[in-house]
Chain A
């Protein structure tokens, strides 16, 4: 895949850390909200300490009917407070009291105990598919609380808003960056890949932020408090807490063994997915070619292959995760068995009551859960590393930037001067070799030459779609490298060879270069470009929506709209790349005259093959292999016997005559 050709597929640990550090920079505007989220999380975790108690109290004081009075001294403060009115109560009263407390808990935090069926979690995971891309929508809209009830719902909404704000901010920065990439970044680039990065890779930031910012603090505090309560509440053997903490090194070990592999496979899964979207994008953007060449079966096979490859890549990732879990399961079972034996021994000894078993075991699982969360932060983030990596890779493509201290360019008064300009493409192809010329306001300049002689390249240097490799281009004696890009392009209207129209109304398409143009100005421009008549004949005139890539318009109609767009821009420099290639002679004549009209107050540069467009040019520059080999008016050039331009013209006339 072209876009990823040069990327390191296997990120090392160091690069991964750098990626995360960079991702966290996007959190800066949200730091207070993240702090609030952390506070809410701690608040929601606090009641967990209380949750194992009701069932223990029911077993000991309701079912086994042990009196409260002697036991209460050993309970932690928050439980003593709860039980103090009940010292002399009957088991039934104790039961009702406890049920009332639990009912209150349901309302506030949606929990009545510590088993899965007794604790609610607020979330909104919707169905997702079976490969990486289709699971990202849940990530981009991640909201969560460890509890339910009013608190849980509030925290959920707060988190969801925060996640979305973060994702919106991050995606918008990516979009901004994409728009500032050099002109040609997407000419042949695979758009589907970029769409994938924008839509499906960016949500990776969600998990990175929560896991790095919230989980460690919550887990460490959770461990400390729970260990303390366990010690304070029951004189349980410290071995139980240590066994629970054993989940931390276990998770770290699993990370060491599987982390890099998971990361690499997550990359693979995302790339396979991006390949599939690229295939879809290309197939449907080029549907005309596909259908007319009868290659539907070929396209379908390709799509089938790519789609299945993306499923397979996701499956490999899942398999590795399953293996990692199975690997950890044996030591985890051993740690749990150890705690189980230790606690039952204490019950059999008579040190603990039967109710304490549930209590201590619940705390054991809470500590183990925090330890596991802490230890597996890194491994959990490996999937996100792949997504973040792909996003930053896109953002690191060189973008267009203004030189330091660049000034805005003033409206064009005199003209353009090009001095000894050379240009070669990144792949080494030499396109221009020492081109110099001047094009003044009031002049129509034509670039003429065979295909591939460098005409389009030369024109594209003026708005800095490319920068010259050597030499200078100046406008009104100001070097264009020293002015801001925005102001430079604001002075230029450029008509591309292949016209690009948007899926919007005719009017919106024309307005692109000048959003505040009045209806009269739009019509005037359209009339000059010979577009007014056919636009009026459209079902809704200027308000007609064009549909994808110009919809039903013919090649010549699209070309005329593109010219109208450029005329409307009212810039000092007008550049047209083969403006009349798809036009019939009549339309062409009309446009040529419009260009001459425009040239009175502007610099007009036309690239053309067709003589009719260039004959009346004030100067003709004839290019050959990146050099200007002849220059002058039509008459001057035709009077040179054996001249390159003259033989070019004669060849064309021979075809016509």
Chain B
């Protein structure tokens, strides 16, 4: 089953490390796959990304040009007092007679060069800095939009997966994937596309600039690459494995916390707090240990990468210092003459040191980015695992909307198993016509609730089919099917919202009168009105307790409000007392005229309201018919049940255990 393998976070020691299922030796493939999957997500913000990149490139060009000029002005002219080039004099509006055609600059001229240089620098900073900040904010917005899209896609996918998936998956895992793992998409853009492009550009331009001054230095930069690549290759597998383990164990921890909270009542009632605490601490330690290993490797790579590039930078500093000391000629003399540069000087020494540093920094950053990309790829892999689970139940290509049912529902030879080889239903056939109440009866585990799930297509049958007005459910659109069915569940699932919102859940635009009317049918209006805040009582608020019977009636009110032609009730009266039950069933029968009502029950009192009774046993239909028909069968199962129960109810025969 593909869905089983998806649920990677299996609790238990050791199991949290899923490892590299693919065992890819070359992790570029993992990164490229993530990239390929993410590129379509960029489409909606394509224009923004282009605008952003152009702006950043423009800023970088301005910055590099201005940087070279300012360094030269400062170091060579101001600090050493060498005359300005003609270009510089013109730019600073200084008299060439005093600043260009002299042996050395006077102190006064050095000061005025300094002042103008400062002015230029400050002006540039005050313009570029806010623009840079604005760009950072712009990028944040772009990336958030991309992340939002992915989150929504994941959310939708999770919602559309069949219950079979959800019964096996963990809520905490969904939270972690939706939240933490999907966030990686934004960083993929940043770490795998934007930043490497920027750093590569930086490396290329810096290396070219350094090359103009001295070809050896440029070669030195190029020769830094092979050991850098080797270093990256050595760490890749280790990093990827570590990151995967860290994410899986953190996800397991989130799941564990979520589950403990969801089951806190039992834990406390059974005094299991200390054991849960111990289990939690084991998980927490595992998660931290996994993070420690992964992050230590990552930091070690950083330290080694710096050692490598720092050695190159050290060598370059020495070479440049010697060139400057000797006033050696520049490599691309003719080209640089235009800017007024002829030989190595102090300004160029500082420029070379800075530019070479920018190049080595780019190499180091690219290595770090590569390492970080491993983490991102692992995170996104977990996201795609989920996105790649095909929903079992989905619309056929030619699916049509379901028209409001007229004749009714028919189960035809339906078979179903949650797990292969363990059939829950075997060739079940019966009909539930419109305008009638059809009851499903049978011992626990006979498959009654499963029959209802199949009607809603929470699952599809393994064999046979279910039809409404003669149309196979698999040929109608899922949304239109579910719009035609209202269901009140055995487990009463309420949301942390007001009572009104909970009832309105399936029909958000219902007005108050409709809500009230539905509550009245469900016999809920009375107790709701008795609450201090009535329909506005917040169910999430501590202190407001509803009994199970009350919750049950709320979920029936919800189904009633939906006003669908098919009403399905799973044990609607299990937690109700006799008086409420009778009232509720009377209300439902009169409200439900013309609708197909399907109900599952054990209670004979409830069955009495049914037009048609289907007795299930061992996943098969044992008997079917009206109350009278079934009672007419001498050895009938139904008849036996009714007789036993009413005998017990009358107290004639004390109930003896079987």
B658 to chain A, nearest CB (A): 6
Task: Indicate with 1 or 0, residue by residue over A286-316, a CB within 8 angstroms of chain B CB atoms.
Answer: 1111111111111110011001100100110
B432-482 with Cβ < 8 A to chain A: 442-446, 448-449, 456, 458, 479, 482
For A611, list chain B residues within 8 Å (CB).
648-649
**Contact present for B270 and A513 (CB under 8 Å):** yes
Q: Could you list some 15 contacts between A and B, CB below 8 A?
A: A117-B354, A124-B299, A129-B187, A130-B143, A130-B186, A195-B261, A285-B493, A287-B163, A288-B493, A315-B144, A341-B115, A347-B78, A450-B579, A465-B268, A569-B270
For the complex, what is the distance from the CA of A284 to the CA of B178, rounded to whole Å? 12
**Contact present for B269 and A494 (CB under 8 Å):** yes
A545 to chain B, nearest CB (A): 9
**Contact present for B183 and A427 (CB under 8 Å):** no
For the complex, what is the distance from the CA of A390 to the CA of B353, rounded to whole Å? 49
For B580, list chain A residues within 8 Å (CB).
450-451
Q: Does A107 contact B (CB under 8 A)?
A: yes
Q: Does B413 contact A (CB under 8 A)?
A: no
For B353, list chain A residues within 8 Å (CB).
55
For the complex, what is the distance from the CA of A434 to the CA of B449, rounded to whole Å? 41
**Contact present for B166 and A284 (CB under 8 Å):** yes
Give the interface size bracket for A toward B: 35 or more
For B430, list chain A residues within 8 Å (CB).
none
Q: For chains A and B in complex, what number of residue pairs have CB atoms within 8 angstroms?
A: 554
For the complex, what is the distance from the CA of A128 to the CA of B358, rounded to whole Å? 25
Task: Indicate with 1 or 0, residue by residue over A246-285, a CB within 8 angstroms of chain B CB atoms.
Answer: 0000000000000000000000000000001110111111
With A287-B163, A653-B650 already in contact, the answer to whether A167 and B288 are too (CB < 8 A) is yes
**Contact present for A194 and B261 (CB under 8 Å):** yes
Beyond A160-B295, A291-B458, A426-B543, 11 extra complex contacts between A and B, CB < 8 Å: A110-B307, A126-B295, A175-B257, A179-B264, A285-B171, A289-B493, A311-B144, A315-B137, A348-B111, A429-B531, A512-B267
**Contact present for B133 and A326 (CB under 8 Å):** yes
Q: Does A467 contact B (CB under 8 A)?
A: no
Task: Indicate with 1 or 0, residue by residue over A584-620, a CB within 8 angstroms of chain B CB atoms.
Answer: 1111011011100000000000000101100110000
A359-404 with Cβ < 8 A to chain B: none
A307 to chain B, nearest CB (A): 5
**Contact present for B543 and A425 (CB under 8 Å):** yes
B302-341 with Cβ < 8 A to chain A: 302-303, 306-307, 310-311, 313-315, 317-318, 321-322, 324-325
**Contact present for A512 and B167 (CB under 8 Å):** no
A536-569 with Cβ < 8 A to chain B: 537, 539, 547-549, 551-557, 559-560, 565, 569
Q: Does A122 contact B (CB under 8 A)?
A: yes
**Contact present for A112 and B444 (CB under 8 Å):** no
Interface residue stretch chosen among A79-87, A95-103, A235-243: A95-103
Q: Which residue of B lies closest to A562 (CB)?
A: B266
**Contact present for A503 and B268 (CB under 8 Å):** no
**Contact present for B144 and A557 (CB under 8 Å):** no
Q: Which 9 A-B pairs have the closest CB atoms?
A: A129-B183, A556-B444, A655-B605, A117-B357, A593-B657, A294-B482, A451-B549, A426-B543, A127-B187
Q: Which residue of B lies closest to A145 (CB)?
A: B299
Task: Indicate with 1 or 0, residue by residue over B250-272, a CB within 8 angstroms of chain A CB atoms.
Answer: 10011001111111111111111
**Contact present for B649 and A652 (CB under 8 Å):** yes
Q: Does B300 contact A (CB under 8 A)?
A: yes
Q: Does B514 contact A (CB under 8 A)?
A: no
Q: Which residue of A lies closest to B455 (CB)?
A: A292
For the complex, what is the distance from the CA of A557 to the CA of B447, rounded to whole Å? 12
Interface residue stretch chosen among B50-58, B483-491, B625-633: B483-491
A310-342 with Cβ < 8 A to chain B: 311, 314-315, 318-319, 322, 325-326, 329-330, 333, 337, 340-341
Q: Does B201 contact A (CB under 8 A)?
A: no
Q: Does B623 contact A (CB under 8 A)?
A: no
Q: Does B172 contact A (CB under 8 A)?
A: yes
**Contact present for A112 and B313 (CB under 8 Å):** yes
For B602, list chain A residues within 8 Å (CB).
582-585
- Taking a contact as CB atoms closer than 8 A, the residue among B446, B606, B649 that contacts A657 in the complex is B649
For A143, list chain B residues within 8 Å (CB).
295, 299
Interface residue stretch chosen among B40-48, B60-68, B123-131, B228-236: B123-131
For B151, list chain A residues within 8 Å (CB).
303, 307
Task: Indicate with 1 or 0, residue by residue over A55-76, a CB within 8 angstroms of chain B CB atoms.
Answer: 1001100111100000000000
B451 to chain A, nearest CB (A): 12
Q: Does B107 contact A (CB under 8 A)?
A: yes
With A116-B361, A134-B183, A498-B491 already in contact, the answer to whether A656 and B655 are too (CB < 8 A) is no
For A539, list chain B residues within 8 Å (CB).
419, 422
**Contact present for B549 and A294 (CB under 8 Å):** no
**Contact present for A112 and B558 (CB under 8 Å):** no
- Taking a contact as CB atoms closer than 8 A, the residue among B346, B541, B654 that contacts A354 in the complex is B346
For B558, list chain A residues within 8 Å (CB).
293
For B261, list chain A residues within 8 Å (CB).
178, 186, 191, 194-195
For the complex, what is the distance from the CA of A296 to the CA of B161, rounded to whole Å? 11
Which of A59, A290, A494 has the most chain B CB within a 10 Å cutoff? A59
For B207, list chain A residues within 8 Å (CB).
none
**Contact present for A548 and B169 (CB under 8 Å):** yes
For the complex, what is the distance from the CA of A449 to the CA of B253, rounded to whole Å? 43
Which of B74, B541, B644 has the most chain A CB within a 10 Å cutoff? B541
For the complex, what is the distance from the CA of A281 to the CA of B445, rounded to whole Å? 28
Q: Does B152 contact A (CB under 8 A)?
A: yes
B268-284 with Cβ < 8 A to chain A: 268-273, 275-277, 280-281, 284
**Contact present for B482 and A513 (CB under 8 Å):** no
Q: Does A183 contact B (CB under 8 A)?
A: yes
**Contact present for A129 and B159 (CB under 8 Å):** no
For the complex, what is the distance from the CA of A583 to the CA of B496, rounded to whole Å? 29
Q: Which residue of B lies closest to A638 (CB)?
A: B651
With A515-B275, A589-B655 already in contact, the answer to whether A463 and B111 are too (CB < 8 A) is no
**Contact present for B496 and A127 (CB under 8 Å):** no
Q: Does A452 contact B (CB under 8 A)?
A: yes
- Taking a contact as CB atoms closer than 8 A, the residue among A156, A195, A278 that contacts B496 in the complex is A278
**Contact present for B272 and A554 (CB under 8 Å):** no
For A496, list chain B residues within 8 Å (CB).
265-266, 269
Which of A59, A107, A190, A503 has the most chain B CB within a 10 Å cutoff? A503
Q: Which residue of B lies closest to A283 (CB)?
A: B159
For the complex, what is the distance from the CA of A483 to the CA of B296, rounded to whole Å? 49
**Contact present for A500 and B266 (CB under 8 Å):** yes
**Contact present for B291 and A333 (CB under 8 Å):** no
With A183-B265, A326-B129, A426-B542 already in contact, the answer to whether A590 and B657 are too (CB < 8 A) is yes
Interface residue stretch chosen among A22-30, A147-155, A411-419: A147-155
Q: Does B87 contact A (CB under 8 A)?
A: no
For the complex, what is the distance from the CA of A187 to the CA of B496, rounded to whole Å? 10
B638-658 with Cβ < 8 A to chain A: 641, 644-646, 648-651, 654-658
**Contact present for B159 and A292 (CB under 8 Å):** no
For the complex, what is the distance from the CA of A36 to the CA of B151, rounded to whole Å? 43
Task: Indicate with 1 or 0, residue by residue over A29-47, a CB within 8 angstroms of chain B CB atoms.
Answer: 0000000000000000000
**Contact present for A655 and B148 (CB under 8 Å):** no
Q: Which residue of B lies closest to A325 (CB)?
A: B133
For B349, list chain A residues within 8 Å (CB).
59, 63
Q: Does A642 contact B (CB under 8 A)?
A: no
A248 to chain B, nearest CB (A): 21
Q: Does B213 contact A (CB under 8 A)?
A: no
Interface residue stretch chosen among B22-30, B568-576, B590-598: B568-576
Q: Does B147 contact A (CB under 8 A)?
A: yes
**Contact present for B263 and A500 (CB under 8 Å):** yes
B341-387 with Cβ < 8 A to chain A: 346, 349, 353-354, 357-358, 360-361, 372, 375-376, 379
**Contact present for A333 and B270 (CB under 8 Å):** no
**Contact present for B172 and A329 (CB under 8 Å):** no
Q: Does B223 contact A (CB under 8 A)?
A: no
Q: Does A176 contact B (CB under 8 A)?
A: yes
Q: Does A502 contact B (CB under 8 A)?
A: yes
**Contact present for B303 and A130 (CB under 8 Å):** no
**Contact present for A58 and B302 (CB under 8 Å):** no
**Contact present for B532 and A429 (CB under 8 Å):** yes
